[in-house]
Every structure is written in C-alpha cells, then in structure tokens.
Amino acid sequence: MPIIIDGKKISDQIKLEIKKEIEEKNLKPGLAVVLVGEDTASRVYVRNKKLACEFVGIESHSFNLDASTTESELLDLIEKLNTDNKINGILIQLPLPKHIDKEKILNAINPEKDVDGFHPLNIGRLYTGHPGLVPCTPAGIMALLRAYDINIEGQHAVIVGRSNIVGKPISQMLLDAGATISICHSKTKDLGAIIRQADILVVAVGVAKLIKKSMIKKGAVIIDVGTNKDADGKLCGDVDFADVEDYCSAITPVPGGVGPMTIAMLMKNCMGSIKNKNVT
C-alpha cells in the first residue's frame, strides 16, 4: 500500500504554527478578499478562506461586488487596498466577469500584498531565485513533499499541465529543488511514454481520472491537483486513484490532498506579507 499524503493534516499543522506566531508576536494581519459576481464555487472558496483566517487570527475584510461592477471601479478599490495599512494581503477571487481584464486587475495589486503570488514581479522573483510571494498551490505541493521527506534532488519530475497557476510555477520550484523537469500538455505526443519516466508526477489538467496505472512508473510519487466530478457525480482527481493505488509509492487523495494546502499557504503568504519591510 502506498503512503497516502494527508494534506488536511499538514495544512492544520501549518495553520496552528501561524496562529501561534500571530498570538506570540501580537500581530494584526489583515487580508482583503474581493469577490465579483455570484459564482457558486467562488463563494465556497471565499467562505473557506474566511474560516481559515478566523482560525489563525488574520482579520478578513470581505468585498462582495455585483457582477455589473466595472473594471474601473474594481481598479479604484484595489488602489485603496494597496494604500490601506490595515491590509497586508489582497486576494481577487477568480474567475472575474468577462468584461473585466484579469491581467490588468492582477497587475494592479501591490506585489508586496499579492498573496496569490500571481503578479509578474513575484513570478519573476520565483524564476530568478529571489524571495517573494509564490503561488499557493505549488507552494503547498512543495510543503507536502517536504513534510513526507520525499526526495526531490536528482529525481525526474513530470508535470502534466502548463498553467500559470500550477504547472509552470511548480516546475520551477521542483527544478530549484534539484529535480530534472519534463512538462507535458495538450500538444504533447505519446503522453504515457513521458509520464512513465516520472519519479514524481504532478497532474493539474482538470480531466477526471485521466492518469491510469498503465501510464505510470512503479513506485512513483503522485501529486494530484485536479478537482473534478466523475460519472457518478463524486469528487475525484485527474488520477484514477483506485487504479494506481497499488502501483505508486505515495499519492495525494482527492479530496484531502493538495486542496487544503492551498488555503494554508495563502495564510502563510499573508504572514510573509506582513513581515515584509515594504508593507507598513
């Protein structure tokens, strides 16, 4: 049987550490969470983030805006939050309504308050090896690998998916940790042949049960970032867990694997922001 990588357990440990630090140092971090529109999934994500803030002691400032909010109005709000000393982190819940330019909005956030790690300056810092706020899901993956003492150095890590949110940043983080990297995507030829080389496999494409036992190397470590519904309407990942379970050495379940770590690392980024000398 493989090691089941328990993201909830590790995320709870991280949040407890943050809570303790806030209490011991009498810190007063503040996180602004901006939601535009009525997207049901986004509301669930925002609620979970607010609950995490409440637990660790970060003051959550909610801004629930109508779907008709203009780009200019949203930019004005971001500018106010950028200069508000009570706010250490700014999170714009995605997706945004189609009439709003996502890139323009994300670029308007003060990089030192960019707790999602999506600002080009923070991405540049990541790729050039400089400290900065990094995307939460990849940071959570790295924290899980460290927590379970999974060796990265010298391993072949294959990432399936090339998004700016997960695929690209996790490839850089694994590269920095000493892995050899292959990135696969929708145009990759003979996907299975490349995946079967993976000592560490990270899958983040949003296709239910895409990865089967026949596609992986025996003893591989599998990190499943996907969140999907299967034919029966049950939550599942991009990896067919039941099919690969007896063939890999360690695997993250869905739910309970990578998901909880994303919010834990958001809390950690908010703490990183309050410690930054550029934020008063």
**pLDDT tens, position by position, 23-38:** 999 999 999 999 999 8
The residues pairing with 200 across neighbouring beta strands, listed in sequence order, are 157, 221
Instruction: Kindly report the average pLDDT of the chain as a whole number.
Output: 95
The three-state secondary structure class of 32 is strand
Q: CA–CA separation, 34 vs 115, rounded Å?
A: 13
The CA–CA distances, whole Å, from 179 to 143, 182, 198 equal 15, 10, 11
Q: What is the mean pLDDT of residues 89-98?
A: 95
Q: Which two tokens stand for residue 35?
A: 């939601």
In this prediction, residue 1 has a pLDDT band, given cuts at 50, 70 and 90, of: confident
Say what the pLDDT of residue 274 is: 78
Among 190, 184, 230, 193, smallest CA distance to 209 is for 230
Is the pLDDT at 279 greater than 90, yes or no? no
Q: Which residues are catalytic?
A: 49, 93, 116
With left for phi above 0 and alpha for psi between -120 and 50, is residue 272 left, alpha or beta?
alpha
Cα dihedral 267→271→272→274 (10° resolution):
140
The 3-class secondary structure across 41-93, one letter per residue, is: HHHHHHHHHHHHHHHHCCEEEEEEECCCCCHHHHHHHHHHHHCCCCCCEEEEC
Q: Which amino acid is at 163?
A: S
Q: Percentage of the chain surpassing pLDDT 70?
A: 98
**pLDDT tens, position by position, 132-167:** 999 999 999 999 999 999 999 999 999 999 999 999
Say what the pLDDT of residue 278 is: 42
DSSP character for 212?
Answer: -
The Cβ-side half-sphere exposure at 142, using a 13 Å CA radius, reads: 21
Is the pLDDT at 52 greater than 80, yes or no? yes
